[in-house]
Chains A and B, each alone.
Chain A
Amino acid sequence: MKSNIRALYFLPYVLWILLFVVVPILLIIYYSFFNIEGTFSFENYEKFFTPVYLKMALSSFWYAFLITAFSLLIAYPTALLLTKTKHKQLWLLLIILPMWINLLLKAYAFLGIFGTYGIANHFLELIGVGAKQILFTDFSFVFVSVYIFVPFMILPIFNALEKLNPTLVDAAKDLGASPWITFRRVIFPLTLDGVKSGCQAVFIPALSLFMITRLIAGNRVITLGTAIEQHFLVTQNWGMGATIAVFLILAMVIIMFLTGNRK
């Protein structure tokens, strides 16, 4: 009886996995072995292990790491403070709301805000710092990326905080722990799962950003996503694009393994 019901809810999900995950992965791996002329070859993989692509991979990882770190730094306090407000669900929805406005539009808005004659520079001039080159820098790239990913980090942390047993915090306080120690020893460890899913939901997509690398960073930042987009859309070298995708998938598997549950 039990296994019948389990099969019921196993089925749609496994079906989805087979059709939309396993089959596309197989297709991608299949394509990665074909070079631009359509013949079977390993040259895509050879190309990947050259300095150009390895540098690109390193760069992608570095930026993804930065973005994840900053998102966490900003998201955690936000989530924490949100749980203490009166209409927390409302505020949470309001945090997600901006994500429903098209990304390209928001990027254009940032181009205007961070432009040489934009609002940000006007503000900087007002406070006496003077206009700076904000666009096409590492700073603006990380800033806008964090802007996009922060809600993805806030949600799981918020959920984790909500389920935290408040008596544990009270107990810590009773035992004389300062707020910082309470946070470090009680709250944070207990919400670690939320932090982990947040990091996964941010780090992994951040590896393949390409719209923002062009719009905000002016291609001064190159990620693996830039290369993939170029190969799939411009060169029509699906083989090479697929090869890079294979490595992205491998990277994801490794990260998941490293941050997975070890219970």
Chain B
Amino acid sequence: MKKIVQMFAIVFIASFAILFFIARLNASEGYSGDNTLTIYNWGEYIDPELIDRFEKETGIKVIYQTFDSNEAMMTKISQGGTTFDIAVPSEYAISKMKEEGLLIPIDHSKIPNLKYINPRFLNLSFDPGNKYSIPYFWGTVGILYNPEALGGKKIDSWNDLWDKDMKNQILLVDGAREVIGMGLNSLGYSLNDTNKDHLLEAKKKLDKLTPNVKAIVGDEIKMLMANEEAGAALVWSGDAADIMWENEKLDYVVPKEGSNLWFDNMVIPKTAKNIEGAHKFINFMLDPKVAAQNAEYVGYSTPNEKALEYLPKEISEDERFYPSPELTDKLEVYENLGKRMLSYYNDLFLEFKMHSK
């Protein structure tokens, strides 16, 4: 009995000591002060130096939290109990959040740097007039492949993946819309197709792909491809850029049938406390030099046209990540298909996964 009491005593004393220490640390870092800005962003999605710079320039202390999926982030914000001032959802999440009244309109007069954004990336279907969101990064969905591992094969279309010589060579991301979208695009249909016949056709075609599919994975796809675990993968362009930086044998292509154009935009959730600070932050990130530095660090494509001038030519002129206007016109943004249809997409995807066995 004495041993137990001792143990508990140690545990409680140690805990309270640590709590005290944490409180001191938080105070010294300014985390418990009043002039704070709480940002909710993807992991490793900003150059930490820029946060420091923002804090110095404005005197606002940044509290930074990260998430790893749109859905998880939306659940947190919609349930309440949080005070995020800025969040960075993907485009389909933004239209959902708009619908559910989770966003505060952005005052464009407070963010003059908006003029630097390429107009091609503004006023899109998921947020007309950019009332609620400002572009942060954008990209495409495409095929990352290892020409060497595939015997010198050149890939430029979705249908290439169905070739017999691609047996057990493909990794897919764990995303219903990406995979079903690939099926739809390969048949010439739109990514936002809601016709059940088309969807079933796409699913049937995907079932035929299963001998070529090695696995359906998440973020670890980057490590796997860099390790040359597979010859080809369905990935987002930003991931592809990262992987190619690590393993120069790999190449990325946006298939010619068409693909997805995705955006991650900054929004101000309705639970924000520091709306002034949020606007300052958005304007700060829109500064061309800041955007360029961020793009170089994170490796994704920046929507900031002026920032391209500050990026090394090998980045800004890389057609794979900054495709021509003609190709970009073919790309589609995911529309909000409504809960029922999205549920149907996910059910099809679940069946596809089970078929993959």
Contacts and interface: CB of A to CB of B under 8 A. Distances in A.
Contacts of B214: 136, 218
A37 interface: yes
A111 B220 contact: yes
Interface stretch (B151-159, B188-196, B347-355): B347-355
B328 interface: no
A232 B176 CA distance: 14
Contacts of A37: 339-340
Contacts of A218: 171, 214-217
A189 B71 CA distance: 49
Interface in A41-56: 52, 55-56
Contacts of A221: 357
Contacts of B356: 219-220
A196 interface: no
A237 interface: yes
Interface stretch (A24-32, A68-76, A112-120, A156-164): A112-120
Contacts of B223: 108, 111-112
A115 B351 contact: no
Contact of B216 (A107, A116, A219): A219
A230 interface: yes
B346 A219 contact: no
A136 B350 contact: no
Interface stretch (B224-232, B236-244, B295-303): B224-232
Contacts of B74: 236
Contacts of B353: 219, 222, 226
B174 interface: yes
B342 interface: yes
A227 interface: yes
Contacts of B220: 107-108, 111, 215
Given A111-B223, A115-B227, A117-B227, A215 B217 contact: yes
Given A218-B214, A230-B346, A234-B71, A111 B224 contact: yes
A222 B217 contact: no
Contacts of B75: 233, 236
A114 B340 CA distance: 40
A135 interface: yes
B33 interface: no
Contacts of A55: 354
A219 B227 contact: no
Contact of B176 (A56, A111, A234): A234
A122 interface: no
Contact of B71 (A226, A233, A240): A233
B350 A220 contact: no
Contacts of B35: none
Given A37-B339, A111-B220, A136-B214, A214 B174 contact: yes
A219 B215 contact: yes
Q: Interface centre among A55, A116, A214, by most B CB within 10 Å?
A: A214
Interface of A: 36-37, 52, 55-56, 107-108, 111-112, 115-118, 133, 135-136, 214-215, 217-222, 226-227, 230-231, 233-237, 240
19 contacts: A36-B339, A56-B354, A108-B220, A111-B220, A115-B229, A116-B227, A214-B217, A214-B218, A218-B214, A219-B217, A220-B357, A222-B350, A222-B357, A235-B342, A235-B343, A235-B346, A236-B75, A236-B339, A240-B343
| 4 shortest interchain CB distances as A-B pairs | A218-B215, A219-B216, A136-B215, A235-B346
